[in-house]
Amino acid sequence: MMKKLIVLFCFYSVSLSSQEMVSDLITNSQLHHVKVKKNNNKSVLSLPFIDDFSSNNRYPDSNLWVDNYVFINRDYGSNPITIGVATFDGLNENGRAYNIALTATDSENADTLTSQKIDLSSSDSVYFMFYYQPQGNGNDPQLTDSLILEFASGSDNSGNTIWNTIWKKEGGTNYDFKKFVYVFTNPDYLTENFYFRFRNLATVSGNFDHWNIDYVKLDKYLSSSDTSLLNDVAFVRNTPQILKRYREMPWVHFVNDVNLEMNDSLEIILRNNTNIIQSIDYRYDVFKNNNLVYHYPVLGGNNSTRNVDVPPFSNSGIYSFNNPPVMLYSQIFPVSSSDSAEFVFRNSIKTEPSDYKNNDTVFHLQKFYSHFSYDDGSAESAYGINVQGAKLAYEFKLNRPDTLRIIQMKFVEMQEDLTNNKFSLTIWLNNNGEPGQEVYKDTVEIEYKDRGKFTNYFLKKGVGIVGTFFVGWEQITNDILNLGLDKNSIANQYMMYNIGGGWINSQFPGAWMIRPVVNYNEPLVNSITDNQKLECKIYPNPFSEFTSIYFSENKERKISIYDIVGRNVRTIIAGEKKVDIYKEDLKNGMYFIQICEGEKQMIKKLILN
């Protein structure tokens, strides 16, 4: 496998090598250091064995599988059989390369997905069926990057399991999911301790050579109809975006113009995997704090449903609720005076009793906190520009005047470690749809955060904004900074860059992972000159129960504690040399403490753990 850079050349008054670039990732930040308990002592399973990977738990179901090497997700599969796939790549269970040093090596052993033991002793004929797809929405495996299915048949003289290859497929570019069926009567397999595994050969130096599998099924074979089609009507996509513009936004800006920010309908997609029309009932419910706050359809009470006939897959592919559409209304999110809110949005269908049920419900967590976000939190690629002096700007729009406090960015780790690489964090006002006057500029450094978290760049002073503004950077070097690119969200109309010939929109579909954080309170941090600095010590810091502030003399001071989004959570007026700060109702995390003594002040980070 050859790692690929997708390159777009720009024809402006700069050298022909000037370009914006997108690169395949070498890690999976959704899996970094997640500790998952393996179930190696599970009792032997019975037929049928079914897993369509619709759980969305990132790791395989430990009741069905022994190991955790594959990635369970809803991003990499292209038009899956049902929602969710198991993805094989070159990364281990923590989302890291198996061997990052093997940059030019293909066809190394990579992921393994091994079943728990299954009792087949009462069967004389069994079928094994699954669906597979190379690449999908990821990286294409090469001919030597194979996907392999193996059955266990006893042990050798050394006690090692004997694995027999049942099926092997060479890599290739993306195509629709294909089905493999294997009917067997071999007594070596029809035992009380049967098990099987999938494994892949791949480049093991990064997040490359993707294979997706879907709907693994093992059951007694009675007739050819058992393997012709699945008896299943299912969701195939997550709940579509509820907000028109953003994935997430501050609650106070949402409630300022609910109708402007919400979509008026949902595109709900189902797939009927049978060969006949299926009658199903659909509904969606919205919950806040586990309490039902809205139900669709509106008429008929909280138990009502909308009945539709879903045509067979062989006739029309997938089914969408287009006539009439599934409507969204402003009432689904009750307006309150809170500064944040969170809602659980549940879509569900009711199908015939024999239909597999795990893929009949999908959930969406709609967050309204203090940040604006076009991305869904997950990076599928890395974005950058290799031009010194290049500018990148991301457009955001406020529904009321507000103050910028923090700019969050997610940089993804690549082959070259860019820790401490500097760039100029910049904020612009709007100038007829393009970045105009600079209102903030500060030289900052790249930081990588564990498990793909965003880096918080705290502004030295709050920046008051009205209406539309732009956030981004000006490059100090020609290094590609590898900003996370979410390929499952499209925000290109808001993504602009300038390499010397004027502002143009990014050509790569996706959403940059930059999030401005706002809060309407007075600016937390202002520029402090040397003669305004207040001297004191805080110990211990970090602290768990209490910490103390030590001064050189008694004098009245105002001590304010702010959380990371600029909200004042405690204020103390004290004049002693030692002031104790107790945990009380504060939650663990990072705070800012601001101490004012006349014109003198001090601002420091305070860590509670």
Reported as a single tens digit per residue, the pLDDT across 302-360 is 999 999 999 998 766 789 998 899 999 989 998 887 778 999 999 999 999 989 999 99
User: Residue 520 has which token pair?
Assistant: 């309407």
50 forms beta bridges with 217
Could you tell me if 347 and 452 lie in one domain? Answer: no
Domain boundary residue among 193, 228, 263? 228
Token pair of 230, please?
A: 């699945």
525 domain-assigned: no
Give every CB contact of residue 80 below 8 A, 6+ residues apart in sequence.
133, 177, 212, 214, 236
Whether 43 is covered by a domain: the verdict is: no
DSSP of 531-570, one letter per residue? GGBPP-EEESSSBSSEEEEE-SS---EEEEEE-TTS-EEE
**Is 123 among the domain residues?**
yes
Contact indicator for 518, 398 with CB cutoff of 8 Å: yes
In a domain? residue 128: yes
Q: Is the peptide bond before 324 cis (omega within 30 degrees of 0)?
A: yes
Q: How many domains does the chain have?
A: 4
Query: What is the maximum span of the chain, computed from C-alpha positions, in angstroms?
Result: 90
Contact 426, 438 (CB under 8 A): yes
> Rounded to 5, what percent of the chain is helix, strand, coil?
5, 45, 50
Residue 210 placed within a domain: yes
Residue 48 corresponds to which amino acid?
P
Q: Give a yes or no: residue 33 inside a domain.
A: no
Do 21 and 384 meet the contact criterion of CB atoms below 8 Å apart? yes
Cα separation, 84 vs 131, whole angstroms: 12
Beta bridge partners of 560: 571, 594
Q: E-assigned strands of 452-532?
A: 455-465, 468-475, 483-486, 495-498, 504-505, 511-512, 514-518
- Supply the DSSP symbol for 413: P
Q: Could you give the C-alpha distances from 322 to 325, 449, 489, in angstroms and in order?
A: 4, 42, 22
- Contact yes or no for 406/517 (Cβ under 8 A): yes
Look up tokens 């997700």; give the residue. Answer: 73
Q: Order of strands, edge to edge, in the sheet holding 391-397?
A: 434-445, 422-431, 468-475, 391-397, 495-498, 504-505
Residues 203 and 290 in one domain: no
The position carrying tokens 């629709």 is 176
pLDDT at 509: 95
CA distance 395 to 470: 4
Residue in this structure with the two tokens 């299912």, named with its chain if needed = 234
Tell if the pTM clears 0.85, that is, is over it.
no
CATH number at residue 74: 2.60.120.260
Q: Which of 190, 211, 228 is the last residue of a domain?
A: 228
Alpha-carbon torsion 31, 37, 38, 42, what sign? negative
**251 shares a domain with 205:** no
Same domain, 449 and 468: yes
Give φ, ψ of 91 to 5 degrees. Answer: -110, 150
Indicate if 94 and 198 belong to the same structural domain.
Answer: yes
Establish if 523 belongs to a structural domain. Answer: no
Q: Are 50 and 356 contacting, i.e. CB atoms less than 8 angstroms apart? A: yes
**Is the backbone of residue 256 left (phi > 0), alpha (psi -120 to 50) or beta?**
alpha
Domain's final residue, options 368, 388, 409 = 368
Same domain, 284 and 323: yes
Rounded to whole angstroms, how far apart are CA atoms 586 and 568?
A: 11
Mark whether 176 and 293 lie in a shared domain: no
d(CA 12, CA 15): 8
Dist. CA 438–CA 514, nearest whole Å: 18
Look up the CATH number of the domain holding residue 297: 2.60.40.10
Cβ neighbours around 162 below 10 Å, total: 12
What is the separation, in whole angstroms, between the first and last Cα of the chain?
45
Chain centre to alpha carbon of residue 325: 27
Residues 408/457, Cβ–Cβ less than 8 Å = yes
Low-confidence ranges of the chain (pLDDT < 70): 1-18, 32-42, 104-106, 315-316, 450-452, 520-532, 564-567
Q: In the numeric block, which tokens belong to residue 524?
A: 């937390």
The answer to whether the beta carbons of residues 369 and 319 sit under 8 Å apart is no
Residue 600 belongs to domain with CATH number: 2.60.40.3080
What pLDDT is stored for residue 512 in this prediction?
Answer: 98
CA-CA distance, 256 to 112, in Å (whole number)? 50
**What pLDDT was estimated at residue 384?**
96
Say whether both 251 and 206 belong to one domain. Answer: no
- Within 10 Å of residue 590's Cβ, how many Cβ atoms? 14
CATH number, domain with residue 394: 2.60.120
Distance separating alpha carbons of residues 81 and 60, to the nearest angstrom: 17
Quick one: pLDDT at residue 104? Answer: 65
Task: Tell me the DSSP string of 214-235.
Answer: EEEEEEE--STHHHHS---EEE
| Residues 274 and 241 reside in one and the same domain | yes
Three-state secondary structure call for residue 181: strand
Domain span including residue 331? 235-368
Q: Residue 14 has what pLDDT?
A: 35
Q: Which residue has the tokens 């309490």?
A: 291
Q: Under a CB-based contact definition with an 8 Å cutoff, are residues 295 and 283 in contact?
A: yes
Same domain, 62 and 195: yes
Dihedrals φ, ψ of 153, to 5°? -140, 75
Q: Which of 283, 373, 271 is nearest to 312 (CA)?
A: 271
Q: Say if 299 falls within a structural domain.
A: yes
Is 72 in contact with 80 (CB distance < 8 Å)?
no
Model pLDDT, residue 10: 37
Q: Are residues 476 and 563 in the same domain?
A: no
Contact 177, 214 (CB under 8 A): yes
How high is the pLDDT of residue 9? 34
Q: DSSP for 345-370?
A: EEEEEE--TTS--TTSEEEEEEEESS
* 188 and 242 share one domain: no
